[in-house]
Amino acid sequence: MSRSVEIWLVRHGETTANAANVLSGWSDVPLTPKGEDQARALKPLLAGERFDAVWSSDLRRAIATAELAIDFPPRTDARLREMCFGDVEARPWSEIGASLRDALLAFVSFRAPGGEDLAAFKARVVDFANRLEPGRHLIFTHGGAIRALTMDLGEDRFISNGGLCALDWTRREVLFLKESG
């Protein structure tokens, strides 16, 4: 009998963009001191757990969260990045038009002007998960990527900064969700 694919997903700690209520997408923003604390708070949750591979988005907020939570650098993959928000990248949420905000929140059909199409974004993240070898994987990524993966399982889970969500990718189910703090 083959081993299943289990995925533990960690959303990066709070960033300067999160604190300012700004869309960050592919912008490479740093963690805030609170975000660093959220990352360190993951350490006892992950201590003693065994993973076959540890992955991260290639953006520094995800890498920094990993390094603070597990004390070593993860393997990086750009497919784990957040959605690219194009022309509204690095803009305050309050300055984005209501129809665009509503479409993004619904997370069903969305494309920011000059940005990534939601369907293509979801396909890129799901493709990464589908190509994982059997085993247990720890992945440091972004809220949108976690939401894309849980939606592919028929659930819509948005987790807070520093939160953790585990999936049995083979059985197509959410195993648990642990919010930060």
3-state helix, strand, coil in the chain (%, to 5): 40, 20, 40
Please choose, from the candidates 107, 112, 115, 101, the residue with its C-alpha nearest in 3D space to the C-alpha of residue 155: 107
Q: Which residues are catalytic?
A: 12, 82
What are the tokens at 157?
A: 């889970």
Q: Which helix (H) or strand (E) holds 17?
A: helix 16-20
Rounded to the nearest angstrom, the gap between the alpha carbon of residue 69 and the centroid of all alpha carbons in its chain is: 15
Calpha distance 76→55 (Å, rounded): 6
Calpha distance 174→169 (Å, rounded): 8
Calpha distance 23→37 (Å, rounded): 22
Question: Would you say 116 and 89 are in contact if contact means Cβ atoms under 8 Å apart?
Answer: no
| Helices 143-152, 118-130: crossing angle, 10 deg rounding | 70
